[in-house]
A and B are shown apart, each in its own frame.
Chain A
Amino acid sequence: MSERRLLKEYQVVKKELGNHKNIISSLEPIDSDDLTNWTATILGPPNTPYHGHSFDLRIHLTPEYPLKPPQVTFSAYKMPHCNIEFKTGKICLNILDNANWSPVWNLLTVVLAIYQLLSDPVTDSPLNIDLSNILKIKDTSAYYGLIEYYLNNKSDK
């Protein structure tokens, strides 16, 4: 099931990516012969400190995909967000859990969900404790300021 579905998905992504130009600037397999490793670039959503920046995602599809969720990570040390581990880029998103994943989702919907996560951080399941603590006390300006500081200094890393 996996291989044929990946081929289909490749076609779907090629066809529909144009509709999401403002969100996803690229979504493609790293090597066109191997559809199990993908890379994506998403743009920072407007009205967030991420606006104006772009972020790279790595997507690994296990042989069990689509029955198991894809493994999606941001690049390490690039993404300050309360549900993303800064050191590794690991994402905490409910639909990427085994329990909440559904095979009707595809790569495009997963990337769109991650984009949505950037504007709607969830404090219940933090992977970045510092940011989440600031967000919990609703100090939005401090939260945004800290993120901006991270983002503007990321070139140093």
Chain B
Amino acid sequence: MSDLECAICFEEFKEDRCALNPCHHTFHLECIRIWHSYADDLKCPTCRTESETITLGFEGVSDGYGVIINLRDGFYVRKLQEFSEMTSVGQTPQIITDFNINQEVEEEEDNDDNEDSGDDHRLKDEGSGVDVLVNEMGELSITENTVRVPSTTRILQCNICGEIDESINECCDDCNTLYHDHCLRSLAIEIFQPQSWELCVQCNKKLGKFNMPGEDVRTFNPDSSKIVNGRLRDKNSLATERIYHNMHLDEFETLRTVKYKIQEHVRNVLNDFKKRAKNKGISISTADFIFVNKFVSRNLYQISEYKYKANEIDYDGEAKKQVLHQLILLGYTNI
């Protein structure tokens, strides 16, 4: 039997291919659900491995995102990438149930270009425009307070699968939530109310049509961006921190000077290393230089708790130690 056929009905797969986890055997969603309701257990018919979840849309497995049905608890949505990486090292997958975009207060990373006030036009100059945001979300219900949507910004994301693409075509006129046609249908089948696919998951109102704007769409990436006051901002920028923490301007200035001072130590040390390497005939690439600079600087801010403590901390010594360590990790072993 070929891999393109469902082993239960022997029909070819179209868009309705789904994979059982952890064994990744694929079936039609309908077939495997009928089988599981017939059988007393949730085992895979092919290999008899006890299944935990189903990934809807086999394409989702390859591109890293997917809608996942937990066979015991019901429907939830998450980034599949995290799931597959975790299982590959033998850990139980973590389920992100409620991803609050405002919850993360990460270390800011100094980047001179970003120390602007962060106006709209600045972001637009970067080539993408800010009309459209995408947020990351965990469970189906995205709570009201996680995302504030000002009139200029619109979250363009399927509320079921969390994906953003051309095929988002259903929109709730009431709460502005967007959906993929196919996500709604599979959800409706999953909850055994096939008629309910035309209704908004949040407010149960009938959905209208939605057309994707032709303009560029700026995507939210939780690693690099952050939504502050409804605007998409660079997560590592100082300006973002200032707005986020509602800082006064003088506080902000102090923070900035602290960063500059610490950064200077690191840069001096790095330059020393660069010179020394040059004498030995080794050249440190710009990318590595920037990486080490950022990495070590960030570590040092952390140690000094955002205050410049020249008396307590030996910045030069600490920087030297860490820079050397990072350079060796990057493969510059002879330095």
Q: How far is the CA of A110 from the CA of B8 in the complex (A)?
A: 15
Interface size class of A (residues with CB under 8 A): 10 to 19
A8 near B11 (CB under 8 angstroms)?
Answer: yes
Is A112 among interface residues, defined by CB-CB distance under 8 A? Answer: no
Are A102 and B45 in touch, CB under 8 angstroms?
Answer: yes
Distance (whole angstroms) from the CB of A80 to the closest CB of chain B: 32
Number of interface residues of B (CB under 8 A): 14
The interface residues of chain A lying within 8 Å CB-to-CB of B34 are 1, 67
Contact flag A1-B9 (CB < 8 Å), given A102-B46, A104-B45: yes
Q: Contacts of A68 on B, CB cut-off 8 Å?
A: 38
Does the CB pair B40–A99 fall under 8 Å? yes
- When distances are taken between beta carbons in the complex, the residues of chain B under 8 Å from A4 are 9-11
CB within 8 A of B10: which of A12, A67, A102?
A: A12
Of residues 1 to 34 in B, which have CB atoms within 8 Å of A's CB atoms?
Answer: 1, 7-11, 31, 34
Residues of A within 8 A of B10 (CB): 4-5, 8-9, 12, 106
Does A44 make an interface contact (CB < 8 A)?
Answer: no
A-chain residues with CB within 8 Å of residue B1 when the two chains form the complex: 12
Residue A46 is within 8 A (CB to CB) of chain B in the complex: no
Residue B9 contacts which of A5, A99, A102 (CB distance < 8 angstroms)?
Answer: A5
Contact with A along B32-58 (1 / 0, CB 8 A): 001100101000011010000000000
CA distance A102 to B38 in the complex (A): 10
Q: Residues on B close to A: CB < 8 A?
A: 1, 7-11, 31, 34-35, 38, 40, 45-46, 48
CB<8 Å pairs between A and B, sample of 5: A1-B9, A8-B9, A12-B10, A102-B45, A104-B45
